[in-house]
Structure 1
Amino acid sequence: MSSGKLFSRQDTKLVKGFAILLMLYHHLFAFPNRIQDGSSYISLLSVLGIDSAEILGLFGKMCVALFLFLGGYGTWVSYQAKKKKLAAGDRNDDSLQNCSLSNFALNKVKSLYVPYLKVFAIVVPVAIVLGDARVSASLSALFWNATGLNITYNGEWWFFTDYLILLMAFPLMVRYFDRKTASFTVDLLAVCVWNAAVMWLIPAFAHVDWASDFAKSILWGKLYQTMQWSACFVMGCLFARWDLLSRIKSKFVGRCLAVICSLLCLVGLVVLRYKLDVGMRYDFLWAPVFCLCLVILFETKVGKIARKPFESIGCHSTNIWLTHSFFCYHWCQSFIYLPKWSPLVFLLLLGVSYASSLLIDLIWKWIEKTFHRVDGKLFFDEPSA
């Protein structure tokens, strides 16, 4: 179904679906040293002597920037919707607005934990039963991993901690972008300066004598990693603040030239990111471009027919993120790489991960249904006379 000229939730699901596919490609083909025990793959194509699986696998790191950009964008849109509802009740109560901001951030943190803990409660016991050496049943390990403050069970879960910190910092972003003198140009420049400072200036302080000990701490490691990715989240807030995704989409949807340029731009991003070899330094700039190009392509007649599967995958992106690496790295790697040809390996991991997501959702629906049934029998209301 078409999402019209506004950047909608369906568009967000579409981009998330593509982002999770990039993540699977990244973890399957960007780390040859993780493919062990005789497992291997054959790339379908070779571009200038470089296998296409490797190129797409390295580009797949873009998934982090996409998720963070959409996270910042969606968080801002949700907050503005909440703010409008509160303003309709009492437009002059500033304390209510301030309270709303802190409560909103807290509720977003709570909503982050719900899907994480649902997967955690099922996957971790399975890992322990299977004898996964990384998953310890000690209470301290369970606590730190369940809270997401020090994740050791799965290396690909690092994103949770960063996203958690960014959500807690969201009130600061709102106060900055909602100031009276706000300007898109000035704020975009500020984000670029911040990103440059994080990438080049702040690391220099790690070599200063008085800061060297703190720079070696676990706390600094987590904070600095979050800062490295923060520009992507902040850029999402900035684009939402000025409603740029909808405004740009409305101007270019349905135009043949825009479709051609979008396709070329996506191919160019893959080549540019691979050739520049600058990692994530400029991903905060590429992320909105990727989102807009993708949405424009899927607003064509052919795109509208094909977008439904990607939206469905996007709906399961969180569960797939939290489970897929167990299959391709730890539990059944030889099975995942059994098809050999890289596209088939990718499709197999996608199928297994998607099926596991459906199963997890079914298990929790059954648990909730059973709980409500038992709760209704134990705490029913007395029938009226």
Structure 2
Amino acid sequence: MVLEKFDVSITNASKGMALMLILWHHLFYEKPEMGLIVFQAALLAKVCVGIYVVLSGYGLSESVKKRGLELGAFYKRRMLKLYMNYWLIALIFVPIGVWFMDRSLSSVYGEHVFQGFLLQMLGVHMFTWVGYGYNATWWFMSLIIVLYAIFPLVYTLTKKYPLSFLAFSAWLMFVPIPLVNDWIFPFAVGVYLSQKDGFVKLLVWLDKQGKARFITLLILTIAVAWYRQNGWLFDSTRADAFFAILLILWTTELVVFSSVAKKAFEFVGIHSFNIFLFHTFIYYYYFPDFIYSFKYPVLIFAVLLGICLVISAGIEKFKKVIGFDKLI
């Protein structure tokens, strides 16, 4: 079956896959005692960041196709949505930590509580003395806010000088730009794939190979995964744009083949941003003993995912009750 459009349902399914990789990575990347396969898979699962960055570039570019690129409207719509969801999760989980979990603001920010928390809520904390702050996973907010801010420039340059700008953004990975240097390239790749309808073209090319496409994908995935962990120069996170694309293609093949998988991955994907924002509170700050008490990696993962989905579904219902979407 040839996919005619790489639409929102497919990107949501891919976000669902990325969210599951986030959970696996965070649960086990510091747990070699869980076994070699679990541990190595957790290290590789850090590609989740690359997947989100590629999909962010792709999604923003797709929105421009529909609405055009009017800077004022773009920044108002996108930044407001980003911040409002971030602040809502903080409003729910930070007071729980302060009042019930013995994680006070002063224990994190010292005597500069107001300044530290404000910097974190503005999403610029990773560029300041605050560092990771109240929730280490929120480092990504500092990255994504910068990527959103530079998107109009990235979009324009990718459209005018596609290959030249991709080469330039790849070169930037070797320039010591705080936090963002490793991620401008996969972000630009996502924009490029949207502008050139790249995912559909890749899937059409794979489809022409028939069942052999799975062998092709498997060989490429193993090669890139190995190089990511063991290669030179373009290794580690610098290889994640390519690794991310391969995993997105695998996810697409799966959800096109199975309607059940499509619904499951898409459901997780719809809740992925909420869960990204709060899952660290559940498994690390608040209830680590409970989560890891299930002993077996797959069961630990399933329990955390299930808990997070239930909490996120509750948050979404709360949003509807208070008319949250009307505020954005």
TM-score by length of 2: 0.86
Change (3 A) 1:305 1:364: closer
Contact 1:262 1:297 (C-alpha < 8 Å) held by counterparts: no
User: SS at the partner of 2:238?
Assistant: coil
Distance 1:76 1:244 in 2: 12
2:239 aligned with 1:294, yes or no? no
Alignment of 1:15-30 (within 5 A): 15-30=14-29
Bigger drift between 248-257 and 70-79 goes to 248-257
1:144 maps to 119
Alignment of 1:149-164 (within 5 A): 149-150=124-125, 152-164=133-145
Aligned-pair CA distance for 1:285:
2.6
Q: In structure 2, which of residues 73, 77, 80 is the aligned counterpart of residue 103 of structure 1?
A: 73
2:282 aligned with 1:330, yes or no? no
Q: In structure 1, which of residues 106, 120, 128 is the aligned counterpart of residue 98 of structure 2?
A: 128
User: SS at the partner of 1:31?
Assistant: coil
Q: Percent identity?
A: 26
Aligned-pair CA distance for 1:270:
3.6
Distance 2:50 2:197 in 1: 19
2:275 aligned with 1:320, yes or no? yes
2:161 aligned with 1:186, yes or no? no
1:127-173 deviations in Å (ceiling 9; x for gaps)? 11124435449433432222222251101110011100111111211
Distance 1:236 1:132 in 2: 41
Contact 2:158 2:166 (C-alpha < 8 Å) held by counterparts: no
2:215 aligned with 1:260, yes or no? yes
Q: In structure 2, which of residues 193, 196, 214 is the aligned counterpart of residue 239 of structure 1?
A: 193
Distance 2:219 2:239 in 1: 19
Aligned-pair CA distance for 1:250:
3.1
The one-letter amino acid paired with 1:146 is: M
Contact 2:224 2:239 (C-alpha < 8 Å) held by counterparts: no
1:342 maps to 297
1:82 maps to 67
2:153 aligned with 1:172, yes or no? yes
Q: In structure 2, which of residues 51, 56, 63 is the aligned counterpart of residue 71 of structure 1?
A: 56
Contact 1:339 1:345 (C-alpha < 8 Å) held by counterparts: yes
Q: In structure 2, which of residues 27, 32, 40 is the aligned counterpart of residue 55 of structure 1?
A: 40
Contact 1:102 1:171 (C-alpha < 8 Å) held by counterparts: no
2:128 maps to none
The one-letter amino acid paired with 2:40 is: I
Contact 1:69 1:236 (C-alpha < 8 Å) held by counterparts: yes
Contact 1:252 1:296 (C-alpha < 8 Å) held by counterparts: no
1:228 maps to 182
Alignment size in residue pairs:
312
User: SS at the partner of 1:310?
Assistant: helix
Note the aligned Cα RMSD (angstroms): 2.6
1:115 maps to 85
Change (3 A) 1:3 1:102: farther
Alignment of 1:213-224 (within 5 A): 224=178
1:315-364 deviations in Å (ceiling 9; x for gaps)? 00011111111121111101000110111111111111111111222222
Contact 2:2 2:203 (C-alpha < 8 Å) held by counterparts: no
Change (3 A) 1:253 1:298: farther
Change (3 A) 1:353 1:317: same
User: Counting helix residues as a fraction of each chain, which structure ranks higher?
Assistant: 2
2:319 maps to 364
Q: Which structure has the larger Rg?
A: 1
- Could you tell me which runs of 5 or more consecutive residues in structure 1 were left unpaired when the two chains were aligned: 34-40, 44-50, 84-96, 203-222, 373-385
Contact 1:262 1:296 (C-alpha < 8 Å) held by counterparts: no
The one-letter amino acid paired with 2:237 is: M
User: SS at the partner of 1:116?
Assistant: helix
1:23-47 deviations in Å (ceiling 9; x for gaps)? 11111110239xxxxxxx744xxxx
Contact 1:191 1:235 (C-alpha < 8 Å) held by counterparts: no
The one-letter amino acid paired with 1:32 is: K
Contact 1:3 1:11 (C-alpha < 8 Å) held by counterparts: no
1:87 maps to none
- Could you tell me which runs of 5 or more consecutive residues in structure 2 were left unpaired when the two chains were aligned: 126-131
